[in-house]
Amino acid sequence: MKTLFCIGLLSAVLPLALPAAVEDFKSYADTEALRKSWTGFGGGNPAPSASLSTLDGAPAMELSTSGEPGDKVIVRELAVQPGERLTFTMHSDMKNAPGAYAYVALRSDRNAGNLVLHDFRLVPGQPVRVEIPNEGRFNWQDQVAMLICLHDAGAPMRVTVGAIDLPGAAPAREFHDTPEARRERREKLLHGRTVQIDTAFPYYHNRSNESIASELRVNGFDGVYYYTGTDTGLRPGLVGEMQRQKLGVGLMTLPSLVYWSEAQLAERLPAGWRDWLIEFTGSGMDIYRFIGFVYPEYNAWYKNYLNGMLLRHRFDAFTFAEIMYPIYDGPEKNPPFYGDVSPGFQAAFKRATGSETFPNFTDPADPDYFRTNTGLYRQLVEYRVRTIDDFYDDIINGPGGAREAAPGILFATWTLGINIPDGVAKLREWEGNDIVAMIRRVKPDLHFIQTHAPDWANPALPGDYPLAYQPFFDAVRTANPDVKIGMQADLGSLGPSRRDPAWQKQFYDACRKAGVDTTTYYEFGLRWEIYSQPPRLCEIRRDGDTLLLVFDQRLNAESAMLMKGRELRGKDRSYRIAECRWDGNLLRLKPDALPAAGEELTVPVGGVADDPAVRFPASNLEPMPRGPVNTIPSGTETTLPVLGSFSGNPAR
């Protein structure tokens, strides 16, 4: 088993002028400011005394104890970027007791379980260098809580902590765009093969933006719809890096903040937000919170929220996913299951229609029961359609809306499709999605039909099922023949319905036959190849003084150690790999000489493997739940030409 810490005694204090430190102690005006960030942990653990100090001439933090009983714990939340390893130096005072030691814990937040917990011996008067290799195990993304714990052996203790750093974490590149490049990416989104990503999945953690973008690109995609449940879930610099690698990038998010916690909603939404929550006739949706579509105050807040994401990350496109009333076949259930029936929605319905009553869904004896007073129920069906289209139109086209804030980007609308008789009309009634009305109201460039869960979750769904969605595509053409048609599939959320390449070919062939202009699917990190095939070397690229091996999926960290020392065979000479560094699907090589662009190299890739630990636990292959390690067979070689650095626009 690989150790999580590499700790070595240093013969001299290391210089600590480290780049890109996540905590370099330079921002604190005084000790009081330091103590506002580095705080006691509590829970019965006393805190060491913290003060500003220096180590080898650089700012540092001194921690001291008085020898009272109990381990002393101090904690700090650190903003992090994916990097090779977390490193720092701790210097032990000459007077510390011989039995004194320290330990460090890393957590996703201060009260979560330990991702890492390791103790290390302190030698009085000497520094200890602590390195925590980042091997895709910690799943940190935006921050970690770091706990430093001192065991003083019952005597006063003093240590000095130097800058805490992530060496190897490349800063986010800022992409320099051009009008021509934007037009090309727009065309890719309108006519190309795209995919959805959700970087909350561990598959995307602990790797560079360049790694993620290159994996998407070498898998043949033209564009990406970047799904996020919240603005804080978007990785800084990733959109620009995908654009630099010539991928069109659209933002996809949900209109109702359904996956936000109550604490998040309370912190960020205006007062009174609880009155905006959708309510249902039963308890089947109680684990979720949906904000409704009929509240102008929410619209105003949402415009600012959405525009911030579009402008900060400079997306090429935007669409809502699943903008609907979220119950499939609710009126057909026994008992009926329906929403929105909240007081706020009922009041809005009555104001809009002039009705003094609202349909009843729970008491068949009520004169306004929806199957009895069908006229009142039809008013509600029409009103629900209008509320969705009004909301969508206001967020995109209204004053201060997205079209005004981000002129020139592509806008897509989005509804669901399903292979059932009279599916277009039934989804209109059940979920409030009217394709024709939505397109004519919102005026999008593109309209997606999303595969509904009863279809995509069916393991027996045939690959050519898009042909059965023709009525939904026809509705798009009826609304506006100039609006492009997109088809969305789910190819991997469930193990039994994860679709292999033969099935995918049938799907894409059927989309072309049905006249679909562009496709996308959920989700890139859940695709069949990740669970079922070993990695494949796709490119060799020069990148400054390094050589990049670009694979089609994420590797395990051990692959870098495996490649070190191997030889790359060229036509006239071989190149020995002196160093090899892992970065997701990339291996960054330092050969003993750099081959020229255009030279063909034969690369021994046998033994390189993927990493089941970062897969979503939804495999249909043993060992459950993540499936097997897929390893390139021993002796395998791949011959490819050396390419130059990727020819996207230069980045600052």
Q: What angle do CA 618, 621, 624 make, to 5 degrees?
A: 60
3-state secondary structure 289-353: CCECCCCHHHHHHHHHHHHHHHHHHCCCEEEECCCCCCCCCHHHCCCCCCECCCHHHHHHHHHHH
* pTM to 2 decimal places: 0.80
In this structure, is residue 244 part of a structural domain? no
In this structure, is residue 344 part of a structural domain? no
Secondary structure letter of residue 377 according to DSSP? H
Could you give the angle at which helices 296-313 and 374-397 cross, rounded to 10 degrees? 40
CATH number at residue 125: 2.60.120.260
| 32, two tokens | 């009081």
Q: Which of 255-264, 364-373, 414-423, 448-457 has the lowest mean pLDDT?
A: 255-264
Token look-up 């060491």 returns: 48
Domain hosting residue 28, numbered range: 6-165
Q: Is the pLDDT of residue 322 over 80?
A: yes
In this structure, is residue 566 part of a structural domain? yes
CATH number at residue 624: 2.60.40.1220
In this structure, is residue 590 part of a structural domain? yes
In this structure, is residue 118 part of a structural domain? yes
CB-based burial of residue 649 (10 Å sphere; 0-12 exposed, 13-18 middle, 19+ buried)?
A: middle
Tell how strand 586-591 and strand 574-583 pair up.
antiparallel
Count structural domains, the chain. 2
In this structure, is residue 525 part of a structural domain? no
Domain boundary among 165, 190, 214: 165
Q: Is the pLDDT of residue 279 over 80?
A: yes
In this structure, is residue 565 part of a structural domain? yes
What is the rounded CA–CA span in Å between residue 107 and residue 116? 7
| Averaged pLDDT, 152-178 | 79
pLDDT at 168: 53
Domain boundary among 141, 165, 189: 165
Domain boundary among 148, 165, 182: 165
In this structure, is residue 393 part of a structural domain? no
Pick the residue with more confidence: 189 or 5?
A: 189
* Tens-place pLDDT, residues 424-469: 999 999 999 999 999 999 999 999 999 999 999 999 999 999 999 9
Winning range, highest mean pLDDT, from 80-94, 133-147, 159-173, 391-405: 391-405
